[in-house]
Amino acid sequence: MSGPLEGVRVLELAGLGPAPHAGMQLADMGADVVRVVRPGAAAHERAGNAHVQRGRTVVVADLKDEGARPGLAGLVRRADVLIEGFRPGVAERLGLGPRECHALNPGLVYARVTGWGQDGPLSGRGGHDINYIALTGALHAIGTADEPVPPLSLVGNYGGGSMFVVTGVLAALLRRTRTGRGDVVDVSTVDGTCALLQPILELRGRQEWSDRRQDNLLDGGRPYYRTYACADGRHMAVGAIEPKFYANLVAGLGLAAADLPAQDDPEGRPALAKSFADAFARYPREQWEEVFRDLDACVTPVLSFAEAAAHPHIEARRTLVDGPEGLVATGAPRFASASGTGAPTPPVSRTATLAEAVEAWQS
């Protein structure tokens, strides 16, 4: 696949979570990614689909097998980037740590991603997305007033993990063009999540964000920034922060501003929220979609995945498309030099032996 990373060779040691997601993004941008999976890996970890494992040359090899070492070394010598998501110390025990790989290829960008990081008291412990974001304060801030609610795996593994792998890899590649030297990119989901939280931490530092859930501007604590149930049980999302959007929200709901508490009156928030809730509850979501279709009020329907794929805006940009195994996100960002104004076509994977992958990179 052509793209801004065409010609960049990436060796991905197969794992779970943020590492393969980072490999997907690099492949989507045109990188030549060889993904090494263990014998007996599940079918979804191999080629033949257009989801997270898409766009790779998939090689089956046992990293503990001495017979695979020459082939793996051949790939390391010719790679620009290596991505691994093992626990700290595992790659070193396999003879594939940064020191060993840089001895073969000093210009290699070696990217490693873990939940806790390569050091620190918890670095050797297991964990999942919910654990990582719990330790950062992010999970505490998300949910209802009564309890935290896990926000899928988006905040930790992918927002704080894979996105920082890609950022770090691209930064290290750019530096290599000036110095000729490779680098080690140490990505921790905990570190990345904290970086994502910086805008909220800034508000908190200015005393504009409290540690109580649903008490703040962007967590459902304001009547003009939350979701409301419609008569059919479906929901509308309201983000009418600015005065012009708020005025259009009130007008669209058929309410009179003079009869409502002021938009930012703390004492009036319960009454204002009730007025909005009562209004939305009068009609089904479809009717409210029609009301706000051409009214610029930052009001949108809350769609399921199936509904999202059929939305005119998503359809027009081909952001989500039907694939052989369900919905597929076509990739982001887009580059005019690679795909014009249209959405890219998700690249497909192919299988190869270790020897074939080395030979392809030799040529």
Domains in the chain with CATH codes? 9-196+327-361 (3.40.50.10540), 225-310 (3.30.1540.10)
Which residues are 57's β-sheet partners? 34, 350
40 band by pLDDT with thresholds 50, 70 and 90: confident
Q: What pLDDT was estimated at residue 324?
A: 78
What CA–CA distances, in Å, run from 1 to 19, 144, 311, 360? 20, 44, 28, 16
Task: Fill in the amino acid letter for 362.
Answer: Q
- The terminus-to-terminus CA distance of the chain in angstroms comes to 18
Give the tens place of pLDDT for each residue, 42-81.
777 766 566 898 999 999 999 999 999 999 999 999 999 9
Tell how far CA 178 is from the center of its chain: 29
CA-closest candidate to residue 222, choices 188, 251, 249, 189:
249
Which residue's entry shows tokens 């604590």? 221
Give the count of beta carbons closer than 10 Å to the beta carbon of residue 298: 19
Give the tens place of pLDDT for each residue, 245-260.
999 999 999 999 999 9
Give the tens place of pLDDT for each residue, 308-335.
999 999 999 999 998 877 898 988 998 8
What CA–CA distances, in Å, run from 88 to 18, 60, 112, 118? 15, 23, 9, 5
349 band by pLDDT with thresholds 50, 70 and 90: confident
Q: What pLDDT was estimated at residue 97?
A: 97
Is 70 exceeded by the pLDDT of residue 342?
no
Give the tens place of pLDDT for each residue, 286-301.
999 999 999 999 999 9
Q: What is the pTM of this model?
A: 0.93
